[in-house]
A and B are shown apart, each in its own frame.
Chain A
Amino acid sequence: MRKSIWKKYGKKGMAVVIGAAILGASSLSMTGCGSEASAAEGVPTVTIWGNGGQEVREALQAIADAYNADPEYNKKAKVEIQFVVSGTSEQSLPDRLAAAYKAGETDTDFDLIVTDDSAIANIEAQTSEDFFEDIDTSKIPNYENLIFKDNIVGDNFIPYRGTAVYLAYNSETVPNPPKTAEELYQWIKDNPGRFAYNDPSTGNSGFSFVANTIYNQLPEEAATSDDETWKTEHQTEWDNGFALLEELHPYLYQTAGKVQYPMKNAGSLDLLATKEIDMTPAFVNMVLSQKSMGTLPDSIQLTQLEEPFLGGLAGFMIPSIGKDKEAALSVIDFYLSYEAQTIDWNTMFASPVVDTSKMENLEHEDWLAQTDMESMRYFSIGTLQKDIAQRWTEEIGSLAK
């Protein structure tokens, strides 16, 4: 172990050195107590690793608890959640995976990774194309429940939760929200200072607004392709998009005498909650959760444009460096059950990936209609997303001064 760190150190970054050290220590200790516990109960421990907001963690944990309490499933495995909450100074999950991979570990407790599909490219770039194994869906009975059968992401990915960005607006001040992108742009100009989108490199709701200015001009299939030619051969569309963003810039939310792009998805929602703005693109589940907690007033409504903002899927992946892959499949199976999908909705208003009419005991059932995942505009452009964020930082972010 020690030797491998020293050997690797010469070539790789400091993340690897520290990461490998931490991983070495933690995986040793965890497998230590893990095998002890499972020896007593006779079932393997499946560790799910995730990152993101606190609400995602709570929902994952709630479903894991249900799994461990279920007399059928808990014979097959015991689920544990390891979660890296975003915004903490914790080393990020992709870094940890890369560290374990580059240190040549093969028997880790990275049994299951739960991730947004948009983050896959980044992990694979730091590890390898075949870092995640193809998943045999015939071993997952509940896969039948899924409404996204034509797996857009890949055979190594099983979606369990949808994410979508909608336009959130204050219905008291905006009785007739825009219905198309053009109407929205006009509204922004007619109501200076009342719209904001967050810095796209800090959150995907702002990114979605930026991406739409380009992708609304491109053919539909561009949104699901990571092919570089959608940039290199479509410079005009990209230039148009950024010209539009530049045109809208002076009409956006201002503070301290200049335009300010809020940081993170929560930043723009904060402005909406305090009524400093009337409209912003936002993740459906964030808006609904905040409404149910009372931190967003009831007057905040959701609507979708004719050219929808991006949608995506969060799902499970099995790293090749994990231990017990059979047991991991039973865990995925449980997360696709109607029971688990209901828990996910009730805990964080996650958009279900199964037929919602078969779900029972839902809270705020009427809100489900607003999160209709079947009309989702699926968005997955790989590293082009990075290119958009970069160009935005250089050309648009720099205007805010």
Chain B
Amino acid sequence: MNEEKKHLWIPYLMVLPAFAVMMLVVVLPILNTVMQSFQTEGGSFTLENYQYFFTSQEAFNSLVFTVIEAVSTMLLAILFSFLLALYLRFSKSRISRVIGRLYLLPRFIPGIVAVYAVMNIIKDAGFINRFLQLFGIVYKPGLLYDMKGIILCNLWFNIPFSAMLLSAALSSVADSYVESARDAGCSWWKILRQIIWPLVYKDVIVAATFILMGQIGAFTIPYLTGPNNPKMLGILLYQQVNTYLNYQRAAALSVLMFIICLGGAIVYIKSNMKEEVWEKGK
């Protein structure tokens, strides 16, 4: 009894460092930001900071631009990475083994290096343009400084990331399920829809929400590859601080972005909590 009591505080002690860091660098700044967003420069209460973003055409355009960009990136990344993960899981060929090792490589390349590399290929005087010139074709891709450029760069980062998550999920699909279904005469499409999909769709939602939330606050890629107008929300936020030195408005925008991401988080948590009928007996 005594012995047990003595060690009662140990778990708390182990949690304390992480908890303290979280409080100090995450929770407190968030509370501070929320408070600041309702203040004028002088410190009195105001709703003006929020009003600005709800009435500004520029902010609305940014929101629409960001949502379109984020949803496109998410859909394309999920589609490509799901196909890739399926291939890696079910193909036993050598190529698939090689790809299985290589596809994680982008995660070890610093972001800024990758962005410049992609830019050098897709810009109007980049690799595509120069390569085609060899054949006498003058073609300007018009990808850079456009939403297409942002999406392309983001796919570069997000496909490996979600393929990694989905590969892990697909490894829970035992060969025996697939084989027995095939023995019973199921088509590939049916196997995918009725056996594989129910086992992995939660992870697909996880990957999708991660990608989506990452896009809402994205900065480096849209800053370097995006158009002057409209801007993504991350750039708009940077501009509030850097060009306008308006910290209160920046705080309000941060809170709004936080709320948008919260929507994603709710979907994520809900889908994780939901228990399937067949899981209940486990």
A200 to chain B: closest residue by CB: B243
Q: At the interface, yes or no: B145 with Cβ under 8 Å from chain A?
A: yes
Say yes or no: A201 contacts B29, CB within 8 Å: no
Further pairs besides A386-B243, A390-B243, A397-B229: 14, Cβ < 8 Å: A5-B24, A14-B32, A21-B24, A255-B142, A255-B144, A255-B146, A260-B228, A263-B223, A274-B123, A274-B126, A399-B229, A400-B227, A400-B229, A401-B227
Number of interface residues, chain A, beta carbon within 8 A: 30
A13 within 8 A of B: yes
Q: Are B124 and A276 touching (Cβ within 8 A)?
A: yes
Q: Mark A1-20, 1 if CB is under 8 A from B, else 0.
A: 00001000100011001100
Closest beta carbon of chain B to A247's beta carbon, Å: 18
B228 close to A261 (CB less than 8 A): yes
Q: How distant is the Cα of A256 from the Cα of B151 in the complex, in angstroms?
A: 15
| Residues from 247 to 265 in B contacting A, C-beta threshold 8 Å | 247
Chain A residue, CB-CB nearest to B220:
A89
Interface residue A149 (Cβ < 8 Å from any Cβ of B): no
Rounded to whole angstroms, the CA-CA distance of A259 and B124 in the bound complex is 13
- Partner of B239 from the list A9, A21, A201, A275 (CB cut-off 8 Å) is A201
Shortest beta-carbon distance from B142 to chain A in Å: 4
**A401 cross-chain contacts in B, Cβ below 8 A:** 227-230
Tell me the smallest distance from the CB of A20 to a CB of chain B, in Å: 10
B125 close to A (CB within 8 Å): yes
A17 touches B144 (CB 8 A): no
- Complex Cα–Cα for A23 and B193 (A): 55
CB distance from A201 to the nearest CB of B (A): 4
Give the complex CA separation of A17 and B35 in angstroms.
15
If A201-B239, A274-B125 touch, whether A258 touches B24 (CB-CB below 8 Å) is no
A-B contact count (CB 8 A): 73
Give the contacts of A217-270 with B (CB-CB under 8 A).
255-261, 263
Minimum Cβ distance to chain A for residue B146 (Å): 4
Instruction: Mark each residue of chain A from 377 to 395: 1 if its CB lies under 8 Å from any CB of chain B, else 0.
Output: 0000000001001100100
Instruction: Identify the closest chain B residue to A267 (Cβ).
Output: B224
Cβ of A199 within 8 Å of any chain B Cβ, yes or no, is: yes
Instruction: Report the bound CA distance from A87 to B116 in whole Å.
Output: 13
* Bound Cα distance from A399 to B224, whole angstroms: 19
B36 at interface by CB-CB < 8 Å: yes
Interface residue range, chain B? 20 to 34
Known: A9-B28, A13-B32, A14-B32. A275 touches B125 (CB 8 A): yes
Q: A7 CA to B227 CA in the complex, in Å?
A: 42
Is A138 located at the chain interface by the 8 A CB criterion? Answer: no
The one of B125, B126, B143, B227 in contact with A258, judged by C-beta atoms closer than 8 angstroms, is: B227
Produce 1/0 per residue, B232-246, CB < 8 A to A: 000000010011110
- Residue numbers in B under 8 Å from A5 (CB-CB): 24
In the bound complex, residues from chain B placing their C-beta under 8 Å from that of A357 are none
CB atoms of A393 and B140 under 8 A apart: no
Looking at the assembled complex, report how far the CB atom of B219 sits from the nearest CB atom of chain A, in whole angstroms.
8
A-B contact pairs, 11 of them (CB 8 A): A9-B28, A17-B25, A17-B28, A256-B143, A256-B144, A257-B142, A260-B228, A390-B244, A393-B239, A398-B229, A399-B229
Interface string of A184-218 (1 = CB under 8 A from B): 00000000000000010100000000000000000
Give per-residue flags for B105-138: 1 if the beta carbon is below 8 A from chain A beta carbons, else 0: 0000000100000000001111000000000000
A18, B29: Cβ atoms closer than 8 Å: yes
Residues of B within 8 A of A258 (CB): 227
CB distance from B227 to the nearest CB of A (A): 7
Minimal beta-carbon separation of B110 from chain A (angstroms): 10
Residue of A nearest to B251 (CB): A13
Q: How far is the CB of B89 from chain A (nearest CB, A)?
A: 35
Contacts of A256 in B (CB 8 A): 142-146, 148, 227
When chains A and B are docked, how far (Å) is the Cα of A259 from the Cα of B228? Answer: 9
A275 to B123 Cα, complex, angstroms: 12
Q: Which residue of B lies closest to A201 (CB)?
A: B243
Binary flags per residue of A161-205, CB closer than 8 Å to B gives 1, else 0: 000000000000000000000000000000000000001010000
